[in-house]
Structure 1
Amino acid sequence: MAKYEGGCEHVHVTSDAEPIDNHECHCNVCKSVTGQQTTHVAFFNYDDLKVDHPEKMNRQPFNKDNPDGPLELCTCSICGAALLLDDKQHRIRVAVPNVMGYDDANFPEATYHAFWDLTKGYPKPDDGRPVYEALRPDFVWPTPAP
């Protein structure tokens, strides 16, 4: 049994590695895709988030306003469940625990807030975690997997 298990009954997404980034996302794309005001997002190194049946995944652009962007939303071709965000550059794979079939309580708590700005229309988060207008300043994109 893997440390993190998500997906659906047709496609299992697993990892024994810890996320390389773990934040509460306030971006408009996450809002549009999930319907949530904020979304707990965990980035994994590309090869650390495994998919047992990639042939059963449909892919669509994650950001409808940037269809050629690097992230694709992968869904099950059988049941339509959201499975992961896949980076076409093979740097990261992304789990959204409460949307992608994971036990959200099993994930470490988000360590900061990303993509918050005054235009969001709600108060700046005040829960003791840092709040940034982008990813945390020390985040470094991993080298693409072969």
Structure 2
Amino acid sequence: MTSHYEGGCDHVHVTASAEPIDNHECHCNVCKSVTGQQHTHVAFFNWGDLTADHPEKMTRQPFNKDNPDGPLELCTCSECGAALMLDDKEKRIRVAVPNVMGYDDAAFPKATYHAFWDESKGYAKPSDGRPVYDGLQPSFVWPAGA
């Protein structure tokens, strides 16, 4: 398997075997509450393209505390607590947040757009030349579950 990107911690190594299927700056309130950042570089991968070498060492918790039965789970290392990936219980995608999950953010392709921005956020609309959407880019199609 060719490794495109590697992240994780000393106990659990996470490897991407393909390029992301979506790559954006996320402005959603859930990402803000989890990362403490105004916006966060997020990369979606097809579910089987992002894997962990020791999944038995991952602790899972709901990604969205306001929707605990939602499809995304935040996976953290059971030994050191490091954030490792978001895993989709429907096995459609897995998500890497490069600057939070142990990746070299500079090695990732630059995010191509801004997602989940709205005027109520209390800051200026991004003006870096990338498209800005109130959700995921309109052309994004959720993959079928594995």
Q: TM-score range by the shorter chain?
A: over 0.9
CA offset at residue 36 of structure 1? 0.3
Alignment of 1:1-146 (within 5 A): 2-145=3-146
Q: Which runs of 5+ in 1 are unaligned?
A: none
CA offset at residue 50 of structure 1? 1.1
* RMSD between superposed Cα atoms in Å: 0.7
Report % sequence identity: 81
- Code of the residue aligned with 1:128 in structure 2: it is G
CA offset at residue 83 of structure 1? 0.1
Separation in 2, partners of 1:7, 1:71: 18
CA offset at residue 37 of structure 1? 0.3
After superposition, the C-alpha distances for 1:70-124 in whole angstroms (9 at most, x for unaligned) are 0000000000000000000000000000000000000000000000000000000
CA offset at residue 16 of structure 1? 2.4
Separation in 1, partners of 2:103, 2:17: 13
Task: Provide runs of 4+ in structure 1 moved above 4 Å.
Answer: none
After superposition, the C-alpha distances for 1:3-62 in whole angstroms (9 at most, x for unaligned) are 200000100000120000000000000000000000000000000001100000000000
SS at match of 2:69: coil
- Code of the residue aligned with 2:56 in structure 1: it is E
Separation in 1, partners of 2:124, 2:105: 25
Separation in 1, partners of 2:66, 2:112: 28
Separation in 2, partners of 1:141, 1:16: 19
Please give the TM-score of this superposition, normalised by the length of structure 1: 0.98
CA offset at residue 2 of structure 1? 1.9
**Number of residue pairs the alignment of both structures matches:** 145
Separation in 2, partners of 1:3, 1:134: 27
Please give the TM-score of this superposition, normalised by the length of structure 2: 0.98
Separation in 2, partners of 1:26, 1:111: 14
Separation in 2, partners of 1:65, 1:26: 17
Separation in 2, partners of 1:54, 1:118: 39
